[in-house]
Structure 1
Amino acid sequence: MTRITAVYDIESPSGVAHAAAVMAGEQSTGTFVRLAAETDALRERSAARIEAIEITGESPRPALPSRREGPRYERGRVTVSWPAENVGLSLPTLLSTVAGNLFELAELSAIRLLDIGLPTALIAACPGPQFGAAGTRRMLGGHDGPVIGTIIKPSVGLDAAGTAALVQTLVDADIDFIKDDELQANGTYCPLADRVEAVTAVLDRHADRTGRRVMYAFNITDEIEQMWRNLELLEANNATCAVVCINAVGLPGVRAVRDRSSVVIHGHRAGWGLYSRSPDIGISYVAWQKLWRLAGADHLHVNGLANKFTESDAVVREAALAVQTPFAGDGAPAYTAMPVISSGQTAWQVAPSRHLLGNDDFIFCAGGGIMSHPGGPGAGVIALRQAAEAARQDIAVEDFARSHGELKAALETFRKPSIVV
């Protein structure tokens, strides 16, 4: 592939074909009038091109408020391409090209970016995940099965000592992975330096006693130079993972962390609803996650089945599979990442999560699903491991629970969700 492609779902009072032409002009050589310097040769070299149009329907009313009006609003799927030379090897320029001013065009009463296709040279020029699933497992000492994890709760409010006390409870429960909440970074009540010192002491003692180091993801989200200093703090304390709120720091921010990091980058998608919640505007997860994998995220949140948010199970399935799908193209690096399944998860959702992926290369984060187990956090972790083993053996979780007490108690405690994938 020598061109960049993007697929959009659009609606227009001017007709899909006309709107597509406006999009192509706006996002390459054109503007609202023909320019004297916009020669035929220049357009041949640099103009965007409409590759495909598929009409999918129409409506008597616009999906979104629009200054342009018409007797009907035609809907369709449009594929646009650009010469790779327009973008070079810049992820920020790529994003400005495929998701820039076109979201504001008056000709569009709906626009959603569905997918992007990239030249191998651009993919290979990006760092991609440094560790991914395989590297995460190595840092966990050759871990088998899905990674069982949780999030420090309360989200904010605990000081460093309180956080460390909770971490002690969790490592005693034999958990694999713990993360700071996205809201807990470097506040005055629980400064990152104090938290790293207190938590690391717990992790070190546990590793000395058991030979196994639990992965703790410290939230380093901040300005770029401060994130670099935060990385130095983590590395000085033998930390293995850093949370980065990727929408907050942007593509250059994630790339800046990746370029200096010796730890796993746990990409949190806080703010994702801004891009995803409306079917009529935004970016699909399929397109969005490619950019963050290219920038260097090792882990990416994908929500969870029967979650507490608005996304359907089908959308969660699509997101989880996308993160593990290699980049297309001859010679392109795969750059796969590790999906993080979370949000209202219990032992009921382990097997469906594994089945939809077809492998164990995911992090399964449960808060209440561990901490609220009637036998305590240790039993909560054991129950999740038992659910994972039932899934590996392809045994119904209720049947497996008959001979596994912790799992049985979990299934009796937590309501069985309705899952449709």
Structure 2
Amino acid sequence: MERVHDPVIFQHAIDGIDMKNNIIATYYMSDRLPGVDFIDHFKLIESIAIEGSTGSWQRVEEESTEVREMLSGKLVGYYEIPTEDEYRKSAVIQLAFPINAWHDNVPMMLLSIAGNCFAYSQRIRLLDVVFPENMVKNFRGPKFGVEGTRELLGIPERPLSLHIIKPKMGMTPKQTGDQVYQTAIGGADMAKDDEMTSDTYNNNFRDRLKYVMDAIDRAEKRTGKRMIYFCSITDEVSKLHEKAREAVEIGANGLLITYSVGLSAIREVTSDPDINIPVMVHNSHMIASMDTISWPVFTKLIRLCGADQTLTPTYWSSIPMVSLEEGIRCQHVAQAPFYGFKKMWSMPAAGTYPGLTPILMSEYGKDIIIPSGGGMLGHPDGYTAGAQAWQQAIASVMEDVPIDEYRRTRR
């Protein structure tokens, strides 16, 4: 007699799975059928596991038991969430997907853990991913990370301030360089193009890079401090890698790539030994998937694929998108032990201003980059004063002196 729920899919526990060769995906799922007091969650889960691996809605002859044993997704954890709603069934589930199906092929991996599953449950969200050793060994992780970037800048322990160049687009290369010079002499540690910056009628990355690096050279002669500039090179995948190489040849000391190019494209750039400068990944494209994929999952994927830093949400931003805990958790997974990879910078972002520094440092610690556009450039005394205000705010927390007192006594 055929069982209702296939034992090949269900008869597993997480402590019996080969953790070196299976990726473990954790999901929250919640479904409601008004007027129906029974929901077969296991049948729904079986559909999700099979759709992410071997089958479709209708089993066919060639999908043998052997094929399912070798390649199908398998339920390894089911934790029902109690509810007083008799028509709702909610649970946290864990599925194991064998890497035999795709090894270290990132696009195929994403199809398994974050593909058709979203079509089955009314409310499903990928909460976490555990990567197996035999997959991760084919990745390199960040080249610089926290430790390497600190060495480049000569800043051993405090948070770093970053100037987001504004407006998003429309400035000439000279205007861009002039803006960066003003924040560089004010002490900003880094600058980056806005994620929307690309090659336009009055600006291209080659000219912009030359003007900005010249501004950094001039500022260094004046201050003795050298800023890192993350030059935006986001482009079609066919152009991205060559663009990164060209930027390095011109003299870039940092690159900015947006998540919209895809994880494989990011991995290709970060894995190139000749691109030996820090790479930042911007997250804006990820916002579209917030309801279905948690931000810490994105953070972990970006670290796996080699970024040195990535923007992350914070509850205190001008566009709060996730809970306080989910925002902070991004920093945890960015810097947690992970197969020997270097720690990745998290960057609590969007609408930050110097007065937030004590809160951000209390939640995230010292190993953060705090990016600021209007919160630096909008200072009433100008761009240089705005950069100085950030340095003062960071120093005040490091020295455990209230910001207002620090501003009055240490100008």
Q: Taking structure 2 as the reference length, what is the TM-score of the superposition?
A: 0.87
Secondary structure of the equivalent of 1:21? helix
Q: Taking structure 1 as reference, are residues 401 and 205 closer, same or farther at Cα in structure 2, changes over 3 Å only? A: closer
Question: 1:271-307: CA deviations, max 9, x gaps?
Answer: 222111x3xxx10012121111111111110133421
Does 1:131 pair with 2:131?
Answer: no
Counterpart code for 1:82: F
Partner of 1:77: 92
Number of the residue aligned with 1:218:
231
Aligned-pair CA distance for 1:374: 3.4
In the alignment, residue 253 of structure 1 is paired with which amino acid?
A
Q: 2:409 is paired with a residue of what secondary structure? A: coil
> 1:287-328 deviations in whole A, cap 9, x for unaligned?
12111111111111013342111324333222232222232x
Partners of 2:169 and 2:198 within 8 A in 1: no
How far did residue 399 of structure 1 move? Answer: 4.9
Match of 2:346 in 1: 339
Aligned equivalent of 1:150: 163
Q: Deviations over 1:330-381 (max 9, x none)?
A: xx223421011221111221122112123x2211112232223334333332
Contact 1:305-1:353 at 8 Å conserved across structures: no
Aligned counterparts of 2:116 and 2:385: Cα–Cα separation in 1: 52
1:301 equivalenced with 2:301 (yes/no) = no
The match for 2:6 is none
Structure 1 pair 167/404, CA: closer, same or farther in 2 (3 Å)?
A: same
Question: Is the CA contact 1:131–1:264 (under 8 Å) kept in the aligned structure 2?
Answer: yes
Q: Kindly provide the amino acid, as one letter, of the partner of residue 343 in structure 2.
A: T
The amino acid across from 1:265 in the alignment is V
User: Residue deviations 1:239-268, cap 9 Å, x none?
Assistant: 11110002x110111012112322211100
Q: Is the 8 A contact 1:136 1:264 kept in 2?
A: yes
Partner of 2:111: 96
Q: What is aligned with 1:166? A: 179
Asked if residue 378 in structure 1 is aligned to residue 384 in structure 2, the reply is yes
2:145–2:345 Cα contact (<8 Å) kept:
yes
Inter-partner Cα distance in structure 2 for 1:236 and 1:19? 53
Deviations 1:95-124 (A, max 9, x none): 11100111123xx11111000111112112
8 Å contact kept, 2:278–2:308: yes
- Residue 29 of structure 1 aligns with an amino acid whose one-letter code is T
Q: Which residue of 2 aligns with 1:241?
A: 254
State the distance in 1 between where 2:236 and 2:54 align: 34
TM-superposed CA distance for 1:183, in Å, is: 0.6
Instruction: Specify the code of the residue in structure 2 equivalent to 1:317.
Output: I
CA RMSD in angstroms, aligned pairs only:
2.1
Change in CA separation of 1:380 and 1:335 when aligned onto 2, cut-off 3 Å = same
- 8 Å contact 2:140–2:341 — kept in the other structure? no
Work out the CA distance in 1 between the residues paired with 2:261 and 2:327: 24
1:270 match: 284
Equivalent residue number for residue 86 of structure 1:
101
Name the residue aligned to 2:333. 322
User: How has the CA–CA distance of structure 1 residues 400 and 210 changed in structure 2, closer, same or farther, with 3 Å as cutoff?
Assistant: closer
1:283 counterpart SS class: coil
Identity across the alignment (%): 26
* CA deviations over 1:125-171 (Å, ceiling 9, x no partner): 11211111112122223454111111111111111111112122122
Query: How far apart are the structure 2 equivalents of 1:205 and 1:402?
Result: 30
Partners in 1 of 2:84 and 2:269 — Cα distance? 46
Counterpart secondary structure, 1:145:
coil
CA distance, structure 2, for counterparts of residue 207 and residue 228 of structure 1: 29
The letter for the 1-side match of 2:307 is A
Q: Could you tell me how far apart the structure 2 residues matched to 1:174 and 1:143 are?
A: 16
SS of match in other structure, 1:97 = helix
Please tell me whether residue 109 in structure 1 is matched to residue 115 in structure 2: no
Question: In the aligned structure 2, how far is the partner of 1:34 from the partner of 1:326?
Answer: 41
SS at match of 2:175: helix
Question: Which residue does 1:64 correspond to in 2?
Answer: none
> 1:355 touches 1:391 (CA, 8 Å); kept in 2?
no
Contact 1:224 1:253 in 2 (8 A): yes
Aligned residues: 383
Label 1:59 to 1:288 Cα distance change in 2 as closer, same or farther (>3 A).
farther
> Counterpart of 2:3?
none
List aligned pairs for 1:357-368, cutoff 5 A: 357-358=364-365, 360-368=366-374
Moved more, 235-244 or 51-60: 51-60
Q: How does 1:175-254 map to 2 (within 5 A)?
A: 175-246=188-259, 248-254=260-266
- Name the CA distance, whole Å, in 2 between partners of 1:109 and 1:242: 39
SS of the residue corresponding to residue 339 of structure 1 reads: strand
Q: Which runs of 5+ in 1 are unaligned?
A: 61-70, 406-421
SS at match of 1:291: helix
1:194 CA displacement: 1.4
The answer for the alignment partner of 1:7 in structure 2 is 26
Q: CA deviation at 1:88?
A: 1.0
